[in-house]
Structure 1
Amino acid sequence: MSAKVYRKLQQHLDKKTIAFPPTKSGIEIRLLKKLFTEEEAEIALGLKFSWDNLEPLEEIFSRLKHKGKSFEELEENLDNMAKKGVIMALKKGKDKTYGLANFMIGMWDYQVNKLTVDFLKDSIKYLYDSYIQEIGKIPTPQTRLIPVRQDLNFSTKMAPFDDIEKILHSIEGPFMVTNCVCRQGKDLITQPCEMTERREVCISFGYAAERYIQQGWGREIDKKEALEILKKNAEDGLIHQINNAQKPDFICSCCVCCCEAIKILNSLPMPAKFIKSNYYARINSDQCDGCGVCLDRCQMDAITPKSEIFTISKRRCIGCGNCIDYCPNGAIQLKVKRSLYVPPETGGELYEEIINIKNKAQKNDHGE
């Protein structure tokens, strides 16, 4: 029974969320056993996925009441699962709503403040064994990159959905900051972040913030503090990844030493080809004196010396803007790419698009 329910759950998650593929090693089953009890796995088989429209408890009970649980028992089970970070939950007034979570961004991220070494190691193994290859098949990514800083002259050319201050000023809130689970993982294996000593760097807002606040995983803040935290993150050399929407729900501040996605990106010969970003940096050779300050700021190794000045590889530059404000001569400018990428409007629309693409590809694979 144990093996069967976890395999059914793996298949259910692989079908309903963006991906939860099988592996030859069976590491995905080991992860599920760490996350779900058998009873919880059975309940999860009856849940649906939505990023921004979770299902009311009453509807879930109506569908699962044949399993013999009372309304109160099911509610307790779902609340415990949400607290563990294995499903999503959001209380709206007196109404409780629940839904399946992605593995990343989802169950992994919800292990903040309770991550264990075993879960960390199994997650990294699963990431490289199968998960990355599977989500890499989908052309619409979960996240995109926006510049960390913009000078006033350039910001007038920037799309509103790429301007960090305009994004935050357009949002009512609530705002939330939480510890970075990736850096907590590195701390567990005594490989602390080389770029910042701070851990409370991850920002979310709206219903994504409410989910964290209600579970006690993050601290509610105001818009002013959110902007101050993001400014400090930029000063430390971190780069901003947000969910791939015009109206995003979170901002991760990442580094190559702790974020596996950035690490993988750095390992590629042409990182710029594999990230959604509308910008790239360029050095004015007449202003560059070869001081090398920008080298320490670049996480993609995109900057190289040429004679007594530096140049930026357009194939490697991901347009994070990390180098610009720290050039003492103002020799680096952010440029707009010729073709502007316009993301889906909301997080909900983003995941609808991703899952529709995945389902269509699977039908084509099966000749349907």
Structure 2
Amino acid sequence: MEQLKLSSGLPEEEINKKVKDLAARGVIFNQPNSKGIMVFRLLPLFNVGTFEYNFMGKLVINERNKEIAALFNKLFSELDNMVQANYDAIIPMLMTTPPIDRTVPVLENQPKNEPVKIIINEDLETGIDRIVPSQRVEELITKFDEIALGHCFCRHYKDMQGTPCKQTDERETCFTFGKSARFTSEQGFSRMIAKDEALKVLKRAEEAGLVHKAYHPNFDISKDETSICNCCRCCCGNGVDNMLAPISNVTNFISVVNDDLCIGCGTCIEKCHTYAAYLNDDKKARRKEERCIGCGVCAHFCPQNAISMVKGKERIVRIPPKKK
């Protein structure tokens, strides 16, 4: 606050009024740090910032929100045109960026109502001495006392444009934790919920075939999660159908198929978010390692429970957008 008073020349009361208004618009983050000192931080336009917070609350279709959606649509279109016009120069550079999100796998098989088999790859187990992030959404939820639930901003953004999600009617699927939960709930972007409700929402997300993606402060997975999204393929801004730049994801899992159980039904191909699954010449399911983010959605829906998840060291998956 003292820095703002010095740089702006405005009294504290007026600064607080302006900051409160900007926070409610998703432009500024205003929460106390660990020492109790109020910190004001300008948010980015997206990943994670103004775009996400403006479409995270209840969907209100009015002229203001239509205009905001139109402005972001123009921005994303211009970014897409810029990337495509300079594809050969930009994409190789962006393919080296750090991971933006982390996959937390689904580890229950729906048709047979039994666990998905987990295979530990001893050769791939990490030897790095540090805290291993939660690999189950249940573990992730239980470690937080402050949990807020908001709407999926990507699906709301599509709703605003008249192109609703093809995969699910679920909208309240975006979680924030700790300081982020306090911020989003105070601004009306979300509501505080109990752990049992959070687990029920996550279960519904799994049944809808959504992918759990966790976000960490400054994309540092050694730090506690700030949020978790439950993503579809058709709306997600970090999904293969909408990406402007390469997907950059970190995962500890990859799928593997038991040929004795696989019947070549193609369910995994239908459900795969990254188009990693396919059938080989023998009509057995396979996956492209370079595209598999280890989400477990294929294993969750496999009618034969023929797909296991191999757990190993952290693996970064980068998938470039198609060249148009």
> What's the TM-score bracket when you normalise by the shorter of the two chains?
0.7 to 0.9
Matches within 5 A, 1:61-72: 61=5, 63-64=6-7, 67-72=8-13
The Cα of 1:295 is off from its aligned counterpart by 2.2
Aligned to 2:53: 110
- Structure 2 stretches of 5 or more lacking a match? 85-89, 109-114, 126-131, 317-324
| Distance in 2 between residues matched to 1:278 and 1:169, nearest whole Å | 20
Q: 2:161 aligns with which of 165, 176, 189?
A: 189
One-letter amino acid of the counterpart of residue 140, structure 1:
P
Aligned to 1:322: 297
Aligned to 1:82: 23
Answer yes or no: is the 8 Å Cα contact 1:303–1:311 preserved in 2.
yes
| Distance in 1 between residues matched to 2:116 and 2:299, nearest whole Å | 13
Aligned to 2:94: 136
| Distance in 2 between residues matched to 1:59 and 1:110, nearest whole Å | 26
Aligned to 2:233: 256
The Cα of 1:91 is off from its aligned counterpart by 5.8
Q: 1:242 aligns with which of 198, 208, 214?
A: 214
The C-alpha deviation readout for 1:107-161, integer Å capped at 9, x for no partner, is 1111124643322312322543569959937632332222133537539889553
RMSD, matched Cα? 3.1
| Distance in 2 between residues matched to 1:323 and 1:94, nearest whole Å | 45
| Residues 207 and 130 of structure 1: CA distance in aligned 2, closer, same or farther (over 3 Å) | farther
Aligned to 1:149: 107
Aligned to 1:291: 265
One-letter amino acid of the counterpart of residue 289, structure 2:
K
| Residues 180 and 161 of structure 1: CA distance in aligned 2, closer, same or farther (over 3 Å) | same
Answer yes or no: is the 8 Å Cα contact 1:148–1:234 preserved in 2.
yes
Answer yes or no: is the 8 Å Cα contact 2:116–2:300 preserved in 1.
no
One-letter amino acid of the counterpart of residue 9, structure 2:
G
| Distance in 2 between residues matched to 1:143 and 1:250, nearest whole Å | 10
Indicate whether 1:224 and 2:196 are aligned: yes
Aligned to 1:122: 74
Paired positions, count: 278
Aligned to 1:48: none
| Distance in 2 between residues matched to 1:155 and 1:243, nearest whole Å | 25
One-letter amino acid of the counterpart of residue 236, structure 1:
A
One-letter amino acid of the counterpart of residue 136, structure 2:
D
The structure where helix makes up a greater share of residues is 1
Aligned to 1:366: none
| Distance in 2 between residues matched to 1:96 and 1:317, nearest whole Å | 41
| Distance in 2 between residues matched to 1:324 and 1:289, nearest whole Å | 14
| Distance in 1 between residues matched to 2:187 and 2:210, nearest whole Å | 27
One-letter amino acid of the counterpart of residue 335, structure 1:
V
One-letter amino acid of the counterpart of residue 40, structure 2:
Y
One-letter amino acid of the counterpart of residue 186, structure 1:
K
- Structure 1 stretches of 5 or more lacking a match? 1-56, 343-368
Secondary structure, aligned partner of 1:242 = strand
Matches within 5 A, 1:299-314: 299-306=273-280, 307-314=282-289
Secondary structure, aligned partner of 2:204 = helix
Answer yes or no: is the 8 Å Cα contact 1:177–1:220 preserved in 2.
yes
| Distance in 2 between residues matched to 1:280 and 1:165, nearest whole Å | 20
Q: 2:40 aligns with which of 92, 95, 98?
A: 98
| Residues 78 and 225 of structure 1: CA distance in aligned 2, closer, same or farther (over 3 Å) | same
The C-alpha deviation readout for 1:79-132, integer Å capped at 9, x for no partner, is 111111111112689964321112221111111246433223123225435699
Secondary structure, aligned partner of 2:298 = coil
One-letter amino acid of the counterpart of residue 165, structure 1:
E
Greater CA deviation, 76-85 or 126-135? 126-135
Aligned to 1:280: 254
| Residues 267 and 136 of structure 1: CA distance in aligned 2, closer, same or farther (over 3 Å) | closer
Answer yes or no: is the 8 Å Cα contact 1:120–1:185 preserved in 2.
no
One-letter amino acid of the counterpart of residue 314, structure 2:
L
TM-score (norm. length: structure 1): 0.67
The Cα of 1:72 is off from its aligned counterpart by 1.0
The Cα of 1:296 is off from its aligned counterpart by 2.0
| Residues 123 and 221 of structure 1: CA distance in aligned 2, closer, same or farther (over 3 Å) | farther
Answer yes or no: is the 8 Å Cα contact 2:80–2:244 preserved in 1.
no
The C-alpha deviation readout for 1:206-250, integer Å capped at 9, x for no partner, is 111100011111111011111111111111011111114241010
Question: What percentage of aligned pairs have identical amino acids?
Answer: 27
| Residues 123 and 59 of structure 1: CA distance in aligned 2, closer, same or farther (over 3 Å) | same
| Distance in 2 between residues matched to 1:259 and 1:328, nearest whole Å | 26
One-letter amino acid of the counterpart of residue 291, structure 2:
R
